Each structure stands twice: as structure tokens, then as C-alpha cells.
Chains A and B, each alone.
Chain A
Amino acid sequence: MSAKLDLKLHVWRQKGPGDAGRFETHEMKGVSDHISFLEMMDVLNEALIAGGKEPVAFEHDCREGICGTCSMVINGEPHGPLKATTTCQLHMRHFKSGDEIWVEPWRARAFPVMKDLVVDRNAFDRIVQNGGFISANTGSAPDGNALPVPKTDADLAFEAAACIGCGACVAACPNGSAMLFVAAKASHLNHLPQGQPERAARVLGMLDQADAELFGNCTNHYECGAACPKEIPVRVIAELNRDYAKAALAVEEPRAAGGGDG
């Protein structure tokens, strides 16, 4: 049995990075509660195109909650009201007929709006390029289990490795800080033996880049962890704080983390 929803949608429209942007209001009639939020946006865009208007630009890719491409702050919450769920996996049955929905892009100086709901998240790539990797020799692959990893370490690393880099942490943070992302990428590798040689250089380099991208500073609101669709725990930030202090105080120079050209 499917219900039909009547919704009032306020969508952020912005022509480009230089445009001031504004909300545009659309009345949506008879929206199926089976469809996802992105499919609802598709329905809106079909109507806009049929009416000869410019469709709303938004990012999407896998639509199964694992790629980190979709974004949108829905009624003040990154990825909408459902816990541990990306916008593409948010279904309209979580809304009621008559609801007013405000759809905004991630808002942060380091994530400039390209168009409508699309923001430039290249800052995250540059942070990863500054230490979010391990250096490995090319040649024959090592034996699968040659390097023992204790189960607890593997679990801690995996919890952090679940990060899909969507940027909801930045969008949710009252300070526009990227600390959960930086910490997740660092924690992922710092819990594994392969991550040890470059551990100090990793935390110094990644944080340096995050600061240079003009993200805000973490003040322990923990909104990031609550908004994260992959439920990355905020303890990774505590780990980063500790690792960063150790790296900054260490006597020996950290091994340079240099990204290879492949």
C-alpha cells in the first residue's frame, strides 16, 4: 500500500561560485513514499525540464549508500533525518504529507558551491594526497597473511576505514571543521602495521593540509559523529590529537610522506 505525499520543497539555487544564491520553492503533489529522496529530486527535475526550466544540479552516483557522492543538508541535517543513512538511501516514507523541506548544499568555505547543491570537495582529495596513504613497493604482491594484524586492531582500522569521504562531518560541524574526516583517514592506516613507517608524517601532513584548506577548528561538539552516514566514532579524533602531539614533539624528523606518481 503506497501513500502519496504533498510536499513543499525549498531548494537552494545558485548559478555558480560567484552567485549569491537563493531558495526556490516548489510544490510537489502526489510524491510516492516508495521513492528515495534523490528520486524525488529526479521527479522535480523532470517537471522542471518539461516546463523548459533549468533542473536542480545535485551529485549522485551509486545510489546504494556506499560511494559518498550524494550530499544535501535536509532540514538542517546532512543526509537528512535518518541515522547512518546517506541521502540516496533516505526514502520518502520518512516524511509526512504536508511537510516543508529545506534542501541546502554543504556549507563551508573549503567546499565552495559549484552550482545549486553541488560543492567542490577537492579539498578532501588534497588532504589524502598529503599523507592518507601507505607507500608500497611495486613488484609481486606479498602473501595474503604474511603480516599478522591483531583482530582488535583490524576492527579499529575498519571502523575508521568505513569513511566514504562525503563531507557530512564538515557540513554538520558548527565550526565547519574537517577533523572527523582527517582523523578517520589517519586512524584507518595508523592502526595497521603497514601504516606505521609514515605514521608521524601522515598526521602532520594531513592536518597541515586541512588547516591550509581553511576548514574550521574542532571544539568537541561531536555533531560530526552524529551526522556521519557511516557512524565513524569521534574517538578517532582523540587518536589524531594524541598522534599529532607525539609527532610534533618527536626528536627525530618524520619520514617524508611523498606521494608517488604511480
Chain B
Amino acid sequence: MTRFQKALRSSIGRKWVMALSGLALCGFVLAHMAGNLQLFAGPEKLNAYAKGLQDLGPLLWAARIGLLSVFAIHVATALKLAAENRAARPQRYAVTQHDTSTLASRTMVLTGLLVLAFAVYHLCHFTWHVGASDAIAKAVAPDAYTLASGGRTKDVYAMVVLGFRSPVIALSYVAAMAVLALHLSHGVSSVFQTLGCTSPRLECARKWAGPAFGALVFAGNCSMPVAVLAGMVGSEVR
């Protein structure tokens, strides 16, 4: 085993794996959110964007496999670390007090698994259309929408609007984003420590980057179900 392979299995090596895979996933979360926010720009923009992604073909599959691998590495490493950490203290304390650890830092495994469960739910909902109503099934037909360019594509816009008109579904997305925000608030701030940033000038960034990023993702992603539910978006979809 080379020095590098051994390092990858060490506690700090895996800390780096968690930080770098987490950063990659943060990149995905941001890009996914930026793309979806085109909901506010109307059906033409969003549907053209969705078709553009579909038309990437093999590139799209490469991105999907890459994303899935990073996700799997992040989750598998976390579960292994968490199991080791539990085993490192076989006898619990009768009394525990928390000082600097936060709700977010202590619940990373739980919030992470909830985000994983949400990702599966989200795919079932918007990608595989499990249990979709007739209206949604009609919207996701490959020729449901005619673009300004003349091409025909799925009506992703109508699908999202119809989906989020259900208060239960819209609120489940808001709840999931709250969990994700909590996860990010510890994760993103931790990246600075893990990657060895010790500059006193970045002390403030270290502390607030996580909560700020979590709040941004929460606000951006929740704006869509909330806007649909409030009737501010999608009034043209019947």
C-alpha cells in the first residue's frame, strides 16, 4: 500500500474525502437550484433549459454517474466514520453537556440520511413520476410543449406547477430543505477547518459560510413550492 492509499484510509484522509465530496455536492446543489429558478422566467425558458439538458445525451449520463459516485462515496464514508466514532466510546456518560457543538454538528448523520431519503423521494416524484395524476402524465409526454424554436418537448413547467399545487408535497419539500440547510450549515463551515485554513482574517467566513450557504439554498429552493402554492407562479397551467 502506498503512502497515499494509506492516507486515504486514515482519519484525516477520510476527513478530506468528506470535505471534497461535500464541496462537489454543494456545487451540484447550487447549479441545480440556479437551473430550477428559471421557473420564475416562465414555461418557455424552463422547458428549453430542460430540453437542453436532455439533449446532452452521453454527457448527461457521464454527469449523472459522476454525481452518483460522489454521493455514494460521501454517504459510505460518513457511515463508516460514524460507526467508528460510536465504537470509540463504548460506555456513554451518565451526564453530557454541550458547549461548542451545535444541533447541526451533532445530527450530521441523521440529517444526511434524511437528505438521502429526500433525494430518492424527489427522483420518484419529478423524474420517474411515481403515482402521477393524469394531468401530470399528460404534461410529461414528450410532445406536450411546443418551444418557440418549433421543437416539441416535455412540459416541465406544468409538471412542477401541478406537483407543487399539492400543499402536502410543497410542504414536504420545504421541510426537506430545512434539513438540508441544517446539514450544510455545519458541513460548509467545516470545509475551512478540514482543508487547513487557519488565517485569522477568514475567522468570520469560517463561522458564517455554512449558515449563509444553508440559508441561501433554503431560500432559493423553497421559493419555488411557496410561490406555486401562493398562486404567484403558474396561473396559466390548468
Contact = CB atoms under 8 A, between A and B. Distances in A.
A and B found bound together: yes
Contact of A248 (B3, B89, B186, B194): B3
Contacts of B93: 73, 76, 104, 107
A131 B10 CA distance: 16
A75 interface: yes
Interface in B1-57: 3-4, 6-7, 10-16
Given A104-B95, A174-B101, A207-B11, A109 B4 contact: no
Interface in A143-192: 172, 174-177, 179
A12 to B, nearest CB: 8
26 contacts: A23-B94, A76-B96, A77-B97, A104-B93, A108-B88, A108-B89, A177-B88, A215-B11, A217-B81, A217-B84, A219-B105, A220-B105, A220-B189, A221-B100, A234-B193, A237-B193, A238-B193, A238-B194, A238-B196, A242-B198, A244-B7, A245-B7, A245-B16, A245-B196, A248-B7, A253-B3
Given A23-B94, A75-B95, A248-B7, A241 B12 contact: yes
Interface string B167-189: 00000000000000000001001
B20 to A, nearest CB: 10
A227 B84 contact: no
B217 to A, nearest CB: 20
Contacts of B106: 174, 221
A225 interface: yes
B99 A227 contact: yes
Given A174-B101, A219-B105, A223-B101, A244 B91 contact: no
B97 A110 contact: no
B151 interface: no
A240 interface: yes
Given A110-B88, A244-B10, 12 more contacts: A107-B91, A174-B85, A177-B88, A207-B11, A208-B6, A216-B85, A216-B89, A219-B108, A226-B100, A234-B193, A248-B3, A248-B13
Given A10-B94, A235-B198, A248-B4, A207 B10 contact: yes
Q: Which of A76, A216, A219, A234 has the most CB atoms of chain B within a 10 A radius of its CB?
A: A219
Nearest to B94: A102
Contacts, number: 135
Given A108-B89, A176-B89, A218-B11, A238 B197 contact: yes
Given A235-B198, A239-B198, A241-B194, A218 B99 contact: no
Interface in A1-33: 10, 21, 23
Contacts of A77: 97, 99
B237 to A, nearest CB: 45
A38 interface: no
A216 B88 contact: yes
A50 interface: no
A15 to B, nearest CB: 15
B59 interface: no
Contacts of A223: 98-101
